[in-house]
A and B are shown apart, each in its own frame.
Chain A
Amino acid sequence: MTGFPILTLLLAVPLLAALGCLLAGAQTARRLALAATLIDFALGVVLWSRYDIGGAQWQFTENVALFAGFSYKLGIDGIALLLIMLSVFLMPICIGASWRSIDKRVGEYMAAFLLMETLMIGVFAAQDLFLFYIMFEAGLIPMYLIIGVWGGADRIYASYKFFLYTLLGSVLMLIAMMWMVNDAGTTDIPTLMAYDFPVGAQKWLWLAFFASFAVKMPMWPVHTWLPDAHVQAPTAGSVILAGVLLKMGGYGFIRFSLPMFPEASAQFAPLIFALSMIAVIATSLIALVQHDMKKLIAYSSVAHMAIVTIGLFAFNVQGLEGSMIVMLSHGLVSGALFLAVGVIYDRLHTREINRYGGLAISMPRYALFFMLFTMASVGLPGTSGFVGEVLALTGVYQVSSWVAAVCGMGVILGAAYMLYLYRRVVFGIQANPDAAAMTDLDLREWLMMVPLAGAVLWMGIYPESFLRPMRQDIAALDARLSRARPTGDATLTPGKPQSAVRAVTETGHEQPASAPMRAH
């Protein structure tokens, strides 16, 4: 498809602005960064409105062959579209969150953020395997810088951990990619998604990709970099880390592991389920005992991401769509929660939960937004969190009632740790005079909160806007996975139990006329 290269423009705007920021003074850099991210958001809106739902699977494609089969090839489907929208939506908010709190090396900071935006969009838009790899790995470099330069006291250890985990995964993934290109003879991702790799090799390829995606997700037990990274990162860094970077792991599973290695995915689904169940229980309990607000929310992210992985490996439409919605929702909600922490951190310069208390008295507007995002995080119906959670769990229930029940425990524990946090920060008396003296949201902060709140409610009340663009792509993926779909443990046995105690497994003649046997 030829036409206006809107995806290239999406990549170019922040990149050029980043160069500008490097040269500009502090205030100019802030304004330039804000302008660039807002332009990118506007371009994203154009992209969404021009996206033809139900049309070609890959749209807005661009292709420039470079050398040796390696090409600059871009294009998006509905899944990529939604994740690009999430990125361009969160970016202006991040710039806004850094407006005052960053006051050293502002130009470089803004440049790092803008570069990261380019690379993130690139990850979701890349259609060439190596192009994806460059974007995927290089996207982390600005993040290291943001943590390492503008981070908190212990930033070196945090970025070191982040680096170490990521390195391991990326090397294995690169080797796997080389093998794949050799076998399939192409670096074109859409072609690879339809290519049937030998079942024996799939296992190794799957594990190599898993090593990378599991770290990014992050899945238990390779999650310990996340709490440190969040705690040390500046507010906007946490927002983008939780909001978009964690989604790269899930996107990787959807784009690579599932369609390219369906048999291996089915084979390793129990591993994914086991790790996810441990993650939900363990990290939720850990979140319960945290004294540091950012650490608490970071651990809750691990638990939420586990719902994404079980949904993805449920091998059905509800699971896949639910996972996508959880990713989008978590991007908004955890981003908003980190922002909410940032608002009070900017005033009191501590993340210690016990230093706060009674904020409802002096900061009622803040309390309202914090309540909304807390409820979205615990998955209250009417917010985005619920739609994703209920779809993902419905999906996984069809595969395993155990997984659904254990991960459902997250619903209880999530309410416990989030409300416990809210109680200690917002309710109670104003025990600390400096916390009591804090002022309510100013206009800048209010302008950051309102779009997030609106998006969270929109996705909760009318998720069709977000489900529709990806429906066709999820259906295609579901069809691709159908050959490897495992049978669930919760299947229905019809008929009279007296006559057929537990032997009847086929759909016999005793089945009631209208009863469907399995849901898809």
Chain B
Amino acid sequence: MDPILFIVFLPLLAAMIAGLGNRALGSVAAKTVTTGALFIACALSWPIFLGFLGGHAEPHVVPVLQWVRSGALSFDWALRVDTLTAVMLVVVTSVSALVHLYSWGYMDEDPDQPRFFAYLSLFTFAMLMLVTADNLVQMFFGWEGVGLASYLLIGFWFRKPSASAAAIKAFVVNRVGDLGFMLGIFGTFLVFNTVSIPEILVRAPAMAGSTIHFLGMQWDTMTILCVLLFIGAMGKSAQLGLHTWLPDAMEGPTPVSALIHAATMVTAGVFMVCRLSPMFAASPTAMAFVTIVGACTLFFAATIGTTQWDIKRVIAYSTCSQLGYMFVAAGVGAPGAAMFHLFTHAFFKALLFLGAGSVIHAMHHEQDMRFYGGLRKQIPWTFWAMMAGTLAITGVGIVDVFGFAGFYSKDSILEAAYASASESGRFGFWMGIFAALLTSFYSWRLMFLTFYGKPRWAGSEHVQHAAHGDHHGADTHAHGHHDDGTAGYHPHESPLSMLVPLVLLSTGAVLAGFAFHHSFISGGPGEFWKGSVAFSEELIHHMHGVPWQVKWAPFAVMLTGFLTAWQFYIRKPETPAQVAAQLGGLYRFVYNKWYFDELYDRVFVRPAFWLGEKFWKLGDIGLIDRFGPNGAAWVVAQGSRGAQRFQSGYLYSYALVMLLGLTAAISWVMVH
């Protein structure tokens, strides 16, 4: 049997065992089964990836089961393995395996662990179905499957109203994107008469220049199809407009944020655009659209990231922003760079989230960075892991020598955007450079607020609660002696099960860029990608020839961001409040996330409920019922003694009418 079958279906099997066994099975058994399955899947995935890296593996498709045949429309369950899939396989299984392991420690005190691990494994299965899809409908299956798992995991702590609300929001906002995806699938079937991805990609270039009617307008065929599919990607990858669910999704447990809302699920949109890159290549308009949406998102999310206090929300907006970079790369025709950033980002962003989880764990569930500070010495392993992640995301490195993971991937995106020489590419480049400055600023801001300076823990209710609990019993003299801001609380480093994933991911954050950039980008991309993405040789060539200013610009803004953060949060900690006061309205606009939630609430949510109420009370009851059945009853009541008598006898009347009618019919037929 092909190993891909085990990689995909072992997590499903484990999820079913853990989920259906639940409390009868017990926590330890459920955790062992799911984590074991994921480590096996991970161990089987790396050889596949290395096979493609070495250039001796061949793309192939493993059929599983027939799915639907309806006229010309047919699609099956099948697992496709090529370079693009192989990259996703190692990302998904590696991060998922480490997150499973990490959750042993993080979720240790939760009574519902079997359910949690079942959801995690179910998610992994759905994600693997998505990345191995050979047709658009199976991709949609994985797409919705990860949406379901995300919904369940965001709402995992279902007793919290905010968690349930965030879960619904995530699902419904994603569904808005999914409608685009579905219409894209329908349109694709109409045009190509198939939903098989390889067949579509072969025939897409020939469609360039044709037009199609959609919603009353005549569109360029490939443009409208790509834009519709991309709307799906915007939902899943939290791009501007459909991003509002992602920050709220932080209501889920932190390992979930690391796996789903950073490393894997949210990158599904990027994966989709790369998988369909030959299709997008047939429409310059759609490509420009992708670039512009990505560029706007990376800028907008980065601005918000600089102002938030919740450590997870900062990283969430950072994720949103980094996804924007990937779309810029995909939009300018460099899917290799997009996939490379996806790959490195998975490691360093999962690392940052798991590191944040470790901090939250140490700080007794306090997530507000205003109550952190000085944690460097208390939790050194976490500190160094977060440092590796920060160096990676800010793109620290020296051209042609060595850099952390993000250095290679982000810089190649910016170079590609510059080299593409299109209007949208230039826009993406300048937005990207500015956002790189903000990225550096908010990342170092997070590091400084959390690990440097003096402890500010005393202000935290969570910490006070914990410290209070600690001190009862042992020493009663504790109160009043802690004017150092610690409130007498001693943060503890996380257990080994949480530190091992941090160390392994740190290795990835440090080395992944250096080790693989040759294959993904600069070397022979044709040899590595083997046609699984559409890339332009010309663009690769131009990327090598960008001026030195372009090559060094990211470095310069990275340094500027670092120095600004240092000035703001180490040297003169009173500066941020002053700046915020000076900016006034602008600061409030950014701090309140550009008021998207308020806008959507007014424009969509409330009107939907209002309309529902009106359709019901005015339409159904006030109009249809009033002039329909109730009106008829009234008319009858006028004629007879009253509706009551009529109503009680209605059944007999009905049977009589039916029988009389039938008798009449039959006798009429007999007469003829």
Q: How far is the CA of A420 from the CA of B633 in the complex (A)?
A: 36
A402-433, CB < 8 A from B:
402, 404-405, 408-409, 411-413, 415-416, 419-420, 423, 426-429
Q: How far is the CA of A262 from the CA of B191 in the complex (A)?
A: 27
Q: Is A464 at the interface (CB under 8 A from chain B)?
A: yes
Q: How far is the CA of A167 from the CA of B651 in the complex (A)?
A: 11
Q: How far is the CA of A391 from the CA of B67 in the complex (A)?
A: 12
* Contact partners of B186 in chain A: CB under 8 A: 393-394, 397, 404
Q: How far is the CA of A225 from the CA of B633 in the complex (A)?
A: 14
Closest Cβ–Cβ distance, residue B75 to chain A (whole Å): 10
Contact status of A490 and B209, CB under 8 A, knowing A317-B70, A322-B70, A408-B179:
no
**Contact between B654 and A163 (Cβ–Cβ < 8 Å)?**
yes
Q: How far is the CA of A288 from the CA of B65 in the complex (A)?
A: 37
Q: Is B336 at the interface (CB under 8 A from chain A)?
A: no
Q: Is B582 at the interface (CB under 8 A from chain A)?
A: no
* Contact partners of B215 in chain A: CB under 8 A: 401-402, 405
Q: How far is the CA of A224 from the CA of B182 in the complex (A)?
A: 31
* Contact partners of A133 in chain B: CB under 8 A: 662, 665
Interface string of B63-79 (1 = CB under 8 A from A): 00111111111000100
**Contact between B190 and A463 (Cβ–Cβ < 8 Å)?**
no
**Contact between B616 and A286 (Cβ–Cβ < 8 Å)?**
yes
In terms of DSSP, what is the predominant structure of the interface of chain B? helix
A463 and chain B: residue at smallest CB distance? B68
Stretch in contact with the other chain, from B263-271, B341-349, B449-457, B623-631: B623-631
Other-chain contact of B629, A148, A160, A285, A391 (Cβ < 8 Å):
A160
A266-302, CB < 8 A from B:
282-283, 285-290
Q: Is A37 at the interface (CB under 8 A from chain B)?
A: no
* Contact partners of A138 in chain B: CB under 8 A: 658
Interface string of B599-621 (1 = CB under 8 A from A): 00000000011011101100111
Other-chain contact of A408, B70, B171, B183, B624 (Cβ < 8 Å):
B183
Q: How far is the CA of A130 from the CA of B665 in the complex (A)?
A: 9
* Contact partners of A287 in chain B: CB under 8 A: 612
Q: Is B504 at the interface (CB under 8 A from chain A)?
A: no
* Contact partners of A398 in chain B: CB under 8 A: 190
* Contact partners of B648 in chain A: CB under 8 A: 156
A378-404, CB < 8 A from B:
380-382, 386-387, 390-391, 393-394, 397-398, 401-402, 404
* Contact partners of B670 in chain A: CB under 8 A: 67-68
B173 and chain A: residue at smallest CB distance? A412
In terms of DSSP, what is the predominant structure of the interface of chain A? helix
* Contact partners of B165 in chain A: CB under 8 A: 423
Contact status of A428 and B159, CB under 8 A, knowing A145-B651, A321-B70, A515-B203:
yes
Q: How far is the CA of A401 from the CA of B179 in the complex (A)?
A: 13
Q: Is B310 at the interface (CB under 8 A from chain A)?
A: no
Q: Is A95 at the interface (CB under 8 A from chain B)?
A: no
Q: Is A316 at the interface (CB under 8 A from chain B)?
A: yes
**Contact between B669 and A394 (Cβ–Cβ < 8 Å)?**
no
Q: How far is the CA of A463 from the CA of B183 in the complex (A)?
A: 22
**Contact between B71 and A492 (Cβ–Cβ < 8 Å)?**
no
Interface residues contributed by chain A, number (CB under 8 Å) = 109
Q: How far is the CA of A358 from the CA of B157 in the complex (A)?
A: 11
Contact status of A382 and B176, CB under 8 A, knowing A285-B612, A286-B616, A516-B193:
no
Q: Is A435 at the interface (CB under 8 A from chain B)?
A: no
**Contact between B183 and A397 (Cβ–Cβ < 8 Å)?**
yes
**Contact between A411 and B669 (Cβ–Cβ < 8 Å)?**
no
Q: Is B137 at the interface (CB under 8 A from chain A)?
A: yes
Interface string of B136-150 (1 = CB under 8 A from A): 010011001100100
B620 and chain A: residue at smallest CB distance? A224
Closest Cβ–Cβ distance, residue A440 to chain B (whole Å): 11
A423 and chain B: residue at smallest CB distance? B164
11 contacting pairs across A/B (C-beta < 8 A): A171-B661, A181-B669, A286-B619, A401-B187, A404-B186, A408-B183, A419-B171, A490-B213, A497-B210, A519-B71, A519-B73
Q: Nearest 8 A-B pairs (CB), nearest first?
A: A317-B71, A285-B612, A397-B186, A381-B141, A512-B206, A289-B612, A427-B158, A68-B670
A residues sitting closer than 8 Å to B (CB atoms) are 67-70, 130, 133-134, 137-138, 141, 144-145, 148, 156-157, 159-161, 163-167, 170-171, 174, 177-178, 181-182, 187, 221-222, 224-225, 227, 282-283, 285-290, 316-318, 321-322, 358, 360-361, 364, 368, 375, 380-382, 386-387, 390-391, 393-394, 397-398, 401-402, 404-405, 408-409, 411-413, 415-416, 419-420, 423, 426-429, 461-464, 467, 471, 478, 489-497, 502, 512-516, 518-520
